[in-house]
């Protein structure tokens, strides 16, 4: 039957589709672009518009719930995950893609209760693919059930990553040397598509074998984590320990063996924590 958070899940789906329609239309129009933490960390008026739409609609329906959202955080709102029902929102994941009209852009809405992720909804705006995962109830793309890859051998793996916003020489050196280590280990390929959430959805779909990143945020990770776990995959910290949603780092894979191989190959890039900003 319908779980306790059914109404919330339905609201998330409706809002992701509505937001996606706005983003799809705005993609080809003129944009006002601003920067945040670095020259490569972009935001547009559509990010703000969509975030405000999603939060105001959810607040009307669920007035006691809490919110963590990318643009609110950029304006100084604290990222704290309490025991209250909490929505974790990225209005446009892949803002740089959006700015360049590169059609890999998503809306991501995650939902946690008692600090446990209950469901995630990620909408690929241009391909109109809706990824959903609900704890204990599987993961889907539209109506198709998702299943991760069972690959355990890094030398047979397609690996996904994202660059992250920091571009100082020391960070770039570590980023490139991590990629070099995976290529030395003979990974079949490394891909950077410009959207953490959609890369993680490819992993959930079995279209790639692993994902890692330093510098992503809780709103890049919350919804995708439920989807990957419900598709049978592993989401962990880059140390090999349990995932920490606020730690700005992640390794995910279809199998624990693969995730551990990636974790062991990586050098840490320090991005601080979402809950200490």
Residues serving a catalytic function are: 70, 90, 92-93, 95, 220
- The minimum distance between CB 165 and ligand IPD, in angstroms, equals 6
Segment near ligand IPD (CB under 6 A), from 80-88, 93-101, 132-140, 201-209? 93-101
Phi, psi (degrees; rounded to nearest 5) at 223: -65, -45
Query: 259 and 236 in contact (C-beta within 8 Å)?
Result: yes
Q: Which is nearer to ligand IPD, 81 or 92 (CB)?
A: 92
The four Cα atoms 65, 241, 271, 214 give a dihedral, to 10 degrees, of -100
100's tokens: 């360049």
- The minimum distance between CB 262 and ligand IPD, in angstroms, equals 17
Distance (Å, whole) CA 266 – CA 177: 9
Query: 224 and 232 in contact (C-beta within 8 Å)?
Result: no
Distance (Å, whole) CA 21 – CA 107: 10
Segment near ligand IPD (CB under 6 A), from 112-120, 162-170, 177-185, 228-236? 162-170
Does 118 engage in binding with ligand IPD (CB under 6 A)?
Answer: no
Query: 256 and 242 in contact (C-beta within 8 Å)?
Result: no
Among 118, 220, 244, 274, binds ligand IPD (CB under 6 A): 220
Does 71 engage in binding with ligand IPD (CB under 6 A)?
Answer: no
Does 194 engage in binding with ligand IPD (CB under 6 A)?
Answer: yes
Binding-site ranges for ligand IPD (CB under 6 A) = 70, 90, 92-95, 162-164, 194-196, 215-217, 220
């Amino acid at each position: 039957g319908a779980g306790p958070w059914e109404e919330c899940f339905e609201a998330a789906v409706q809002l992701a589709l509505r937001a996606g329609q706005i983003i799809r239309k705005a993609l080809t129009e003129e944009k006002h672009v601003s920067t945040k933490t670095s020259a490569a960390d972009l935001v547009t008026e559509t990010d703000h518009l969509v975030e405000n739409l999603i939060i105001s609609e959810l607040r009307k329906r669920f007035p006691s719930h809490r919110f963590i959202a990318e643009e609110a955080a950029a304006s100084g709102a604290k990222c704290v995950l309490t025991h209250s029902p909490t929505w974790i929102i990225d209005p446009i994941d892949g803002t740089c893609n959006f700015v360049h009209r590169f059609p890999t852009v998503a809306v991501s809405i995650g939902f946690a209760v008692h600090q446990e992720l209950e469901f995630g909804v990620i909408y690929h705006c241009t391909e109109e693919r809706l990824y959903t995962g609900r704890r204990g109830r599987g993961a889907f793309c539209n109506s198709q059930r998702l299943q991760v890859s069972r690959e355990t051998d890094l030398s047979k793996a397609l690996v996904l990553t994202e660059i992250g916003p920091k571009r100082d020489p020391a960070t770039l050196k570590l980023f490139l040397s991590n990629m070099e280590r995976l290529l030395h280990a003979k990974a079949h390929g490394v891909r950077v598509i410009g959207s953490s959430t959609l890369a993680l959805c490819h992993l959930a779909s079995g279209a790639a074998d692993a994902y890692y990143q330093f510098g992503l945020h809780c709103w890049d990770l919350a919804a995708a984590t439920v989807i990957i776990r419900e598709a049978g995959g592993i989401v962990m910290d880059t140390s090999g320990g349990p995932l920490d949603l606020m730690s700005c780092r992640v390794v995910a894979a279809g199998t624990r063996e693969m995730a551990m191989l990636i974790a062991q190959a990586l050098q840490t890039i320090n991005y601080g924590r979402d809950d200490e900003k």
